[in-house]
Structure 1
Amino acid sequence: MEGRHWREGRVRVLHDTALAQPPAHWWFDPAELERRSLVTGRGGGRGSVVFFRVPDAAGGRPGEGSRDEPPQWVLRHYLRGGTIARALGDRYLWQGLQETRPWQEWHYTARLYDEGLPVPRPVAGRVVRLGPTYTADLITVRVPGARSLDENLGGQGVSEATWRAVGACIRRFHDAGHWHPDLNSRNILIDPKGEVWIIDWDRGEHRPESATDWRQANLQRLKRDLEKRLRIRERWVYSEACFSALLAGYEGARPR
């Protein structure tokens, strides 16, 4: 896939050339999306994620909906975490356009998509420069009917076969050299067909083939997340056997 960008004053927008027209400003405005009755839901920390129906002006591409569900997109506003968020909130230090979070994530996700890996297709990214800082947003395609592993484990849980599928999916990315900086249960999706997707590739990296220790570190990060949520969630359908099944899927997966 190819990207193109435009600039208008303080605003820079990068988008998929498959769109019928360049993104409008209001595509990145949750209030305007609400006013146009396009919002279908919200999620993410502090309401930073908005799900909405694809605007008619976008021409229906990219965004493959199911037969029973029209295509939707996901708007995510970048928010800082930790103590630095108290000082900067949603602002990031400007170090050049190519170094901005949505520019890097859009291009990296496009690379994963082109490699045939299970990631949502990136649609558009926006940067609004504010002197030495900027704010940022990213729009991606919503995987039809998908629920996060987190949602599933907070409900009825998932089968051993699904745990194996999660492991096999992670192995596909690892074999291709892709490291996810925040591999956790919220960033793993399972669609109605049982297919597994990995989302939110902000700060993702391609690691050299000569280095392999990062693979186990990545898996252990996910394990720590799952065990932490077992301690803090009132309902969390997870046990050591679940992660053993994930590892079995990971070890049994063969490079594609």
Structure 2
Amino acid sequence: MNLELPGLGGGWRVCTPGGIVPAGEPIPLASAHGRGGIFRVGDMVLRPYRRGGFLRHVNERTYRSHLRFAAEHAVHRGLWDSGFPTVEPLGYAWRPCAMGVEGVLITRLADGQVWPGRWDLSAERASAIRDGVASLCDWGLWSPDLNATNIILPPEGGALFLDWDRAAFVPADTDLWTRYRNRLHRSLRKLGAPKEAYAIMEAERHP
């Protein structure tokens, strides 16, 4: 069924529990990635899939099939159901585009500030970030898009982790802690973070 999504036009095939379709006035949200195009609709967030890096200049939004969106939602749903600190996944939508498809991730709105907007973290916040990464390591889940802008600091404390596109399970002997530390440090360098931010991910995994 072809449906309308607020702020994104029509022709969408929406895959959500119970067939829930976002409806209402779309409110643009600032994107931590600087690419924009994210909308709030009521208590939902619609985030169109966009390529980063060099590829965004060649093919920003067209993908081969909707299976990539379905895979991210499945991983995200599994994390949420396991009690991992992330935003609530509600589903995804896709529609034909050029020689492929484009997609939208649908999640529940969560209050908070992205980590780069608040470098002066308390010990509790720092521990929440380390604990989240440690859990991903324990599960053997590698998320290549995990960076500082994908970590939200809710007003009540803790940390929420976002963006599970291309996340996949890896062999048990993979040193994921080092991978995640290097990935986060790379994003911190790009953001010009203070040296205190690097201490969040210690040289060795904490107990």
TM-score, normalised relative to structure 2: 0.83
Q: Percent identity?
A: 25
**When you count helix as a share of all residues, which structure comes out higher?**
1
The answer to whether the 8 A contact 2:152-2:160 is kept is yes
Equivalent in 136, 142, 164 of residue 103 of structure 2: 136
Out of 149, 168, 187, the residue aligned to residue 225 of structure 1 is 187
1:5-55 Cα distance to aligned partner (Å, 9 max, x none): xx44964321124xxxx233xx3xxxxx7xx445273324321222231xx
Alignment partners' CA distance in 1, 2:108 and 2:199: 32
Tell me the equivalent position of 1:42. Answer: 30
Count of aligned residue pairs for this structure pair: 199
Could you tell me whether the CA contact under 8 Å between 1:167 and 1:248 is conserved in 2? no
In structure 1, how many angstroms separate the alpha carbons of the residues matched to 2:58 and 2:203? 44
TM superposition shift of 1:146 = 1.4
Give the Cα separation in 2 of the matches to 1:76 and 1:147. Answer: 17
Alpha carbons 2:146, 2:163 under 8 Å: kept? no
The secondary structure found in structure 2 opposite 1:247 is: coil
Give how far 1:174 is off: 1.4
Bigger radius of gyration among the two: 1
Conservation of the 8 A alpha-carbon contact between 1:177 and 1:207: yes
Q: Distance in 1 between matches of 2:145 and 2:73?
A: 16
Q: Which AA in structure 2 matches 1:215?
A: W
Q: Which piece of structure 1 moves more, 180-189 or 7-16? A: 7-16
Unmatched 5+ residue regions in structure 2? 4-10
1:191 maps to 154
Stretches of 4+ aligned residues off by more than 3 angstroms: 7-11
Mapped pair 1:164 → 2:127: yes
Alignment of 1:63-74 (within 5 A): 72-74=43-45
Q: How far, CA to CA, are the matches of 1:87 and 1:227 in structure 2?
A: 26
- Aligned-residue offset at 1:249: 9.8
Long gaps (5+) in structure 1 = 1-6, 28-32, 54-71, 231-235
The RMSD of aligned alpha carbons is: 2.5
Choose the corresponding residue for 1:111, options 74, 78, 82. Answer: 78
Q: In the alignment, which of 173, 196, 202 is matched to residue 247 of structure 1?
A: 202
Give the aligned partner of residue 66 of structure 1. Answer: none
Deviation readout 1:209-255 (Å, 9 max, x if unpaired) = 2x22233112111012112322xxxxx4x21x443344289513xxx
